[in-house]
Amino acid sequence: MWRLMNNFDHRLYKLSRQKLQSLARRRMPHMRTSVVRRQSTQQGESTWISGENEKPQRQLRWGIAPINILAEDFVTATTTLPPEKHRITACMGTYRSQALEFADRYKVPNVFTSFEDLARCPDVDAVYISPLNCMHCELCHLMLNHDKHVLCEQPLCMAEQQVVQLVTKAKARGLFLMEGVWSRCLPSYEYMRSEIAKSKLGVVYDVRCRLGWELPNAQTSSSAYAGVTRNWAADCIQLALWIYQEVPMFVRVDGKLNDAGVDIIAEIELSFRNNRRAVLELSAEKNLANMATIRGTKDCIIMNNFWSPTLLFFNNREVEFKLPTTECKTYFDSRVGMCYEIEEARKCILNGRTESKLFNHSESQLMVNLIDQITDMMAVKDKHVKVQRVAAIQ
């Protein structure tokens, strides 16, 4: 894990990005580029920094791979954004009638029944990927191979080496790739970071997350349950990394496995430099408070639903962050907050970036490394990790 620390450093991240942008520009004339990126090169990047009142505002054309309830929430979130900025231009569903029904409902002009056909569609700039976790990596490769930018639900990959290969490909092709840790793009997170940066909390030394629901199926030997670490740890770990902005020095793990050897309780402690720590409690056996606290030497922030907080208790007052309203409800609670991530992806793409600084490639690599370590330490029988046939998909 130590070798990641250099990558994770923000200064090095910036250097690396500049290098890759120039690489992308050199490659441009030979590449089959999407309209957005081609014009970006012709007109110079500075005109593409997107401000709220700036014109022209480039429209990002999204492909959905595949249609499912997560994708529906994604589309619902885009409805809160200006249509001249985002448009769903293509979708993929294995069954034609389902794909057509989705397309009808959301006015999507291009409908495909295979991922390959969607990848080849010239009317798509970026693809939103949300299928089975173990297939994320393969689909990201496919889309990058066809010069599509990618926003992929977490986990990006099931093994660290896969993240490295994927990131290498995205950078070499000058394409944007982001793991969908949408919490990072919320205004409430931005607010917290700025308050911490202004030392309003003093020195932060303790982050505590509690995440638990009583799941009736989790205790059975059903292979359908992936375990609390695979399912929820990322939501907590991302918060800890966001607060401390460094790689943890040690990881301590305790927990309980069900009959099938899958973790249903996990207590994870991440130790950072100078005796600072994050304690993450996960349970599929009982409902926990689902709140997080960030303690500093001067003050403390308490937040509800920390993956999408709408209320921060801080400095003896409440700070409210309302999410945009939509006509349709999202399937998953608060998921309309994805709109900030969607706009972040657009801004990065228009600026020719291959990664977002809100959740960058190094963090994706660190995340899979940590999750792997934790499941190993708990001796979890992980049925969900499967080495992909990388040769077949590159």
Strands 291-296 and 204-212: antiparallel
Q: Pick from 151, 106, 161: which is nearest to 124 by CA? A: 151
The answer to whether residue 116 forms part of the interface with a second copy (CB under 8 A) is yes
CB of 393 to a second copy, least distance (A): 6
| Residue whose CB is less far from a second copy, 102 or 272 | 102
| Residue whose CB is less far from a second copy, 129 or 241 | 129
What gap in Å lies between CA 41 and CA 54, rounded to an integer? 18
| Part of the chain binding a second copy (CB under 8 A), chosen from 29-37, 39-47, 96-104, 370-378 | 96-104
The answer to whether residue 115 forms part of the interface with a second copy (CB under 8 A) is yes
Residues 6+ apart with CB under 8 A from 15: none
336 with 330: CB under 8 angstroms? yes
What gap in Å lies between CA 238 and CA 307, rounded to an integer? 9
| Residue whose CB is less far from a second copy, 127 or 142 | 142
What gap in Å lies between CA 163 and CA 140, rounded to an integer? 10
CB of 222 to a second copy, least distance (A): 8
For residue 386, which amino acid is it?
K
Q: Which residue(s) pair with 296 in the sheet? A: 204
The answer to whether residue 332 forms part of the interface with a second copy (CB under 8 A) is no
Residues 6+ apart with CB under 8 A from 274: 203, 205
The answer to whether residue 107 forms part of the interface with a second copy (CB under 8 A) is no
CB of 389 to a second copy, least distance (A): 5
Residues 6+ apart with CB under 8 A from 391: none
**Which of positions 39-78 make contact with a second copy (CB under 8 A)?**
66
CB of 47 to a second copy, least distance (A): 39
189 with 337: CB under 8 angstroms? no
For residue 247, which amino acid is it?
V
- From candidates 68, 113, 290, 315, binder to a second copy by CB under 8 A: 113
What gap in Å lies between CA 13 and CA 362, rounded to an integer? 9
Burial group, residue 261, by CB count within 10 angstroms (0-12, 13-18, 19+): middle
- From candidates 22, 217, 271, 394, binder to a second copy by CB under 8 A: 217
Site map (CB under 8 A) of a second copy, residues 118-157, x = contact: -------------xx--x--xx--x---------------
The answer to whether residue 164 forms part of the interface with a second copy (CB under 8 A) is no
- From candidates 6, 26, 27, 117, binder to a second copy by CB under 8 A: 117
CB of 216 to a second copy, least distance (A): 6
**Which of positions 219-258 make contact with a second copy (CB under 8 A)?**
220
Site map (CB under 8 A) of a second copy, residues 171-210, x = contact: ----------------------------------------
What gap in Å lies between CA 103 and CA 92, rounded to an integer? 9
Binding site for a second copy (CB under 8 A): 66, 94-98, 100-101, 113-117, 131-132, 135, 138-139, 142, 216-217, 220, 388-389, 392-393
